[in-house]
């Protein structure tokens, strides 16, 4: 529940960033660089004299967009492939499962970095990179679900009643396979957020001046010994976000999975 509360709050912050932040994220003050937290700047200023609080609020927007947006791509690729693979079986299944296995074998972060280097930095490219690598887990989950559900009596019944391929898959099989997919998506969001943070940290994520937590940590880490606030606050933000989404995921799983009750 606490996780859900924080997530809702983060989403609200992301949506109302323009209203909430005391400054725009590009507003610089060259007279006050790297200042520690003060009344004017509750979380201090960065190396260009920009308000850290405002940048973190806008950073939440980037994180949320990446987290949710990437999951949309992941679902759009992963679910159809998993469903087809499980439902059709045979050679299609063999081919798709091997393909999924191959994708699974790539070290994820390295593959994402490779894709980003090829496409260049930018929000859209982050979607593509995370989407291209993130769908395999969901595809496997969906396939496993579909495999077991398609043997169930009610599916047999529907088939006996003359339901076609499309009707069977979309009206009978998939809705019943939804629970684990929803859980997987909830866990996928923080993973995507973290991937974006990692990419921005190493400098292949979001282009400045758009703020991103990972980028803020990356730029601040070299000044850790002189201006601790530059990377401590965004790090805390990333940690809280990861934790609350993980709690939320646990909650969703508990709520939806009757076996655990």
Kindly list the residues in this chain that would bind other proteins in the complex (CB under 8 A): 26, 28, 30-31, 33-34, 47-50, 120-122, 203, 207-209, 219, 222-223, 225-227
Dihedral sign, Cα of residue 137, residue 129, residue 178, residue 251 = positive
Considering beta carbons, is residue 47 or 176 the nearer one to other proteins?
Answer: 47
Which C-beta is closer to other proteins: that of 26 or that of 97?
26
> Residue 105 or residue 226: which is nearer to other proteins going by CB?
226
Which phi and psi angles does 51 have, rounded to 5°? Answer: -70, 120
- Please give the radius of gyration of the chain, using alpha carbons only, rounded to the nearest integer: 22
**Residue 208 C-beta: closest distance to other proteins, Å:** 4
Contact indicator for 10, 244 with CB cutoff of 8 Å: yes
| Nearer Cβ to other proteins (179/207) | 207
DSSP, collapsed to helix, strand or coil, labels residue 137 as helix
The CA distance from 62 to 19, in Å, is 16
CB of 59 to other proteins, least distance (A): 15
Q: Tell me how far, at minimum, the Cβ of 96 lies from other proteins, in Å.
A: 36
Q: Please give the C-alpha separations between residue 9 and each of 16, 143, 251, in angstroms, as whole numbers.
A: 10, 34, 17
- Using the structure block, give the residue that is written with the tokens 């997530």: 7
In the complex, the smallest distance separating the C-beta of residue 63 from other proteins, rounded to whole angstroms, is: 19
CB of residue 119 to other proteins, shortest distance in Å = 12
Q: How many other CB atoms are there within 10 angstroms of residue 161's CB atom? A: 8
User: Of 31 and 162, which CB lies nearer to other proteins in the complex structure?
Assistant: 31
């Amino acid at each position: 529940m606490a996780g859900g509360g924080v997530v809702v709050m983060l989403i609200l912050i992301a949506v109302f960033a323009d209203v909430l932040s005391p400054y725009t994220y590009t507003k610089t003050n060259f007279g006050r660089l790297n200042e520690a937290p003060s009344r004017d700047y509750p979380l201090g200023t960065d190396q260009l004299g920009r308000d850290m609080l405002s940048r973190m609020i806008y950073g939440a927007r980037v994180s949320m967009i990446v987290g949710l947006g990437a999951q949309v791509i992941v679902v759009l690729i992963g679910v159809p492939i998993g469903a087809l693979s499980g439902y059709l079986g045979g050679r299609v299944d063999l081919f798709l499962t091997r393909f999924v296995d191959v994708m699974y074998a790539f070290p994820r972060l390295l593959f994402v970095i490779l894709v980003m280097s090829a496409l260049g930095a930018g929000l859209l490219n982050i979607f593509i990179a995370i989407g291209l690598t993130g769908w395999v887990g969901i595809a496997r989950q969906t396939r496993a679900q579909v495999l077991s559900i398609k043997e169930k009596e009610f599916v047999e019944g529907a088939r006996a009643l003359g339901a076609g391929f499309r009707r069977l898959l979309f009206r009978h099989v998939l809705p019943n396979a939804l629970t684990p997919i929803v859980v997987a998506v909830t866990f996928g969001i923080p993973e995507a957020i973290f991937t974006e943070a990692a990419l921005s940290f190493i400098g292949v994520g979001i282009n400045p001046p758009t703020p991103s937590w990972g980028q803020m940590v990356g730029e601040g880490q070299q000044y850790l010994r002189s201006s601790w606030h530059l990377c401590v606050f965004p790090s805390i933000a990333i940690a809280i976000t990861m934790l609350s989404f993980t709690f939320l995921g646990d909650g969703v799983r508990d709520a939806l999975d009757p076996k655990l009750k």
